[in-house]
C-alpha cells in the first residue's frame, strides 16, 4: 500500500491520504526509535524525523494548516506530509538543491551524507510553511476607527 506514496513523495508530491506510510523510507508506525529494515543511516534518520513529527502531532504539540484554510493553524492528530520539508544539516550539510518532502527516497540526496565513526549522528532542519493572511477590510476598518484588530 505504500508504493504509491513512495512514487508521489519521490516527485515532491506527498499525499496525506496514506498517513501510515512514510513514502520510500518505510512504515511510519510503530512510533518508536527502532527501524527494522534500515538501508543506511540517512534513510533511518529521515524516517525517525517523520516519526517524531507524527508523535508530536499525536500529542497535539504541533499545529499546521488545514487544506484550504491557510489563515489559521490547528492541531491535528496526524502529521501532514504536505506541511513539512527536511534538509540535512549534519554530518554533511545539504547546501544545494531543494529541501525534501517527508518520505522522499534518499537514493539521490542521501548519497555521501554519512561516513564511518564520526558521521553517524544526524541533524535535520525541518521546514514548514507560513502564510500571511491579512484581511484588507479589517485593516482599513482598524485604521479608520483607530481600534485594535
Residue 77, C-alpha cell as written in the block = 492528530
Q: Phi/psi class of residue 56: alpha, beta or left (left: φ > 0; alpha: ψ in -120 to 50)?
A: alpha
Grid-cell match 496526524, residue found: 78
pTM assigned to the model = 0.79
Short-list 8, 119, 104, 125, CA closest to 47: 104
Please spell the DSSP secondary structure of 26-86, one letter per residue: -B--S-SS--TT-SSHHHHHHHHHHHHHHHHHHTT--EEEETTEEEEEEE-SS--GGGEEE
**Cα 117 from Cα 146, distance rounded (Å):** 62
Short-list 56, 64, 41, CA closest to 124: 41
**Cα 24 from Cα 4, distance rounded (Å):** 9
Short-list 103, 106, 56, 45, CA closest to 79: 56
Containing 140, the helix (H) or strand (E) segment is helix 136-145
149 residues of the chain, pLDDT tens digit each: 788 888 888 888 888 888 898 888 888 888 888 888 878 888 889 999 999 999 998 898 888 877 666 677 777 888 888 888 899 988 888 888 888 888 888 888 877 777 877 777 889 999 987 766 767 777 777 777 876 55
Amino acid at each position: 500500500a505504500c508504493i504509491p506514496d513512495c512514487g508521489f513523495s519521490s516527485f515532491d508530491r506527498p499525499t496525506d491520504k496514506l498517513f501510515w506510510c512514510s513514502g520510500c523510507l518505510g512504515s511510519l508506525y510503530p512510533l518508536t526509535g527502532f527501524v527494522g529494515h534500515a538501508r543506511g543511516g540517512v534513510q533511518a534518520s529521515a524516517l525517525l524525523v517523520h516519526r517524531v513529527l507524527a508523535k508530536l502531532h499525536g500529542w497535539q504539540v504541533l499545529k499546521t494548516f488545514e487544506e484550504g484554510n491557510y489563515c489559521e493553524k490547528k492541531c491535528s492528530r496526524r502529521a501532514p506530509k504536505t506541511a513539512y520539508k527536511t534538509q540535512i544539516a549534519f554530518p554533511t550539510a545539504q547546501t544545494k538543491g531543494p529541501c525534501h518532502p517527508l518520505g522522499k527516497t534518499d537514493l539521490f540526496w542521501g548519497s555521501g551524507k554519512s561516513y564511518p565513526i564520526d558521521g553517524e549522528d544526524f541533524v535535520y532542519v525541518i521546514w514548514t510553511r507560513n502564510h500571511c493572511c491579512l484581511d484588507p477590510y479589517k485593516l482599513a476598518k482598524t485604521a479608520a476607527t483607530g481600534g485594535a484588530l
